[in-house]
Amino acid sequence: GAGVSQTPSNKVTEKGKYVELRCDPISGHTALYWYRQSLGQGPEFLIYFQGTGAADDSGLPNDRFFAVRPEGSVSTLKIQRTERGDSAVYLCASSPGLATDTQYFGPGTRLTVL
Amino acid sequence: AQTVTQSQPEMSVQEAETVTLSCTYDTSESDYYLFWYKQPPSRQMILVIRQEAYKQQNATENRFSVNFQKAAKSFSLKISDSQLGDAAMYFCAYRGPGGTSYGKLTFGQGTILTVHP
């Protein structure tokens, strides 16, 4: 079946604008994760969902960042009033559920804030 | 808080040779999971190998094997018979036991592996 997909692949925006990044997990996967990867660094955890609810949002850097997963499948990461420091690759991953420990990653969205 | 350290920013190896990538971590937990992920220029993170801390036997996946030293909190990756397609950034990652941190992977800084023909 298809893997995790993310859209758009690249997003360029201006400082202060609002952006939405989309993640389509592997069909049937109940757990979904967002990470942020700055240039030359390892990914950093942002948030994870089990079903529709955010089970852990401790990695969200501030209240400009918000994520939803209203039907327990597709998730959207929303960033308000973007800043240049938000520029990074945003990675999404999914896993079948808490019973498994393997996360399958998408190709990421590269966000550039000018 | 858990931390993962990869002390080798870059490594290189000749095709068909063996290379070992180092990783150390810090945790107060006794049960956890460790992973090696590969990230080629396409950005897609690919799972290479995983290890459950309660298992004493080192995990192996074809040409990839680990040396898991729980007491030393060390988790190195050995790649045998290196191939050009192994060239990528490699990340070591830690995942804790159940509870609210269950879903969270903590990654190291990565090691860029170059394979010379």
What is the C-alpha separation between B4 and B110, in angstroms, rounded?
10
State the count of interchain CB pairs (< 8 A) between A and B.
64
d(CA B69, CA A96): 29
Q: In this predicted model, what pLDDT tens digit does every residue of A46-87 receive, in sequence order?
A: 999 988 988 889 899 999 999 999 998 999 999 999 999 999
Percent of chain A at pLDDT above 90? 80
CB of A34 closer than 8 Å to CB of A47: yes
Q: Collect all residues of chain A within an 8 Å Cβ-Cβ radius of residue B45.
A: 43, 91, 93, 105
What pLDDT does residue A54 have?
86
pLDDT class of A99 with cuts at 50, 70, 90: low
Burial zone of A39 (CB within 10 Å; 0-12 exposed, 13-18 middle, 19+ buried): exposed
Please report the pLDDT score of residue A42 as a whole number: 94
Beta-carbon contacts of B79 under 8 Å, excluding residues fewer than 6 positions away, are B13, B18, B19, B20, B21, B63, B64, B86, B113
Helix (H) or strand (E) holding B113: strand B111-116
Residues of A with CB under 8 A from a CB of B: 31, 33, 35, 40-45, 48, 50, 55-56, 58-59, 89, 91, 93, 98, 101-108, 110
Q: Which residues pair with B89 in a beta bridge?
A: B39, B112
Chain A residues in contact with B95 (beta carbon < 8 A): 101
Which residue out of B105, B106, B109 would a mutagenesis test of the A interface target, given it has the greatest number of A Cβ atoms within 10 Å? B105
Distance in angstroms (rounded) separating the CA atoms of residues A55 and A47 = 8
Token digits for B38? 């590969």
Q: With beta carbons under 8 A apart, name residues in chain B contacting A50.
A: 103
Distance (Å, whole) CA A108 – CA A62 = 21
The confidence score (pLDDT) of residue B2 equals 81
The pLDDT value given to residue A100? 58
Q: What is the mean pLDDT of residues B65-82?
A: 96
Q: Which residue has the higher pLDDT, B83 or B43?
A: B83
pLDDT in tens, B30-63: 888 999 999 998 888 999 999 999 888 899 999 9
- Asked whether the beta carbons of residue A45 and residue B109 sit closer than 8 angstroms, the reply is no
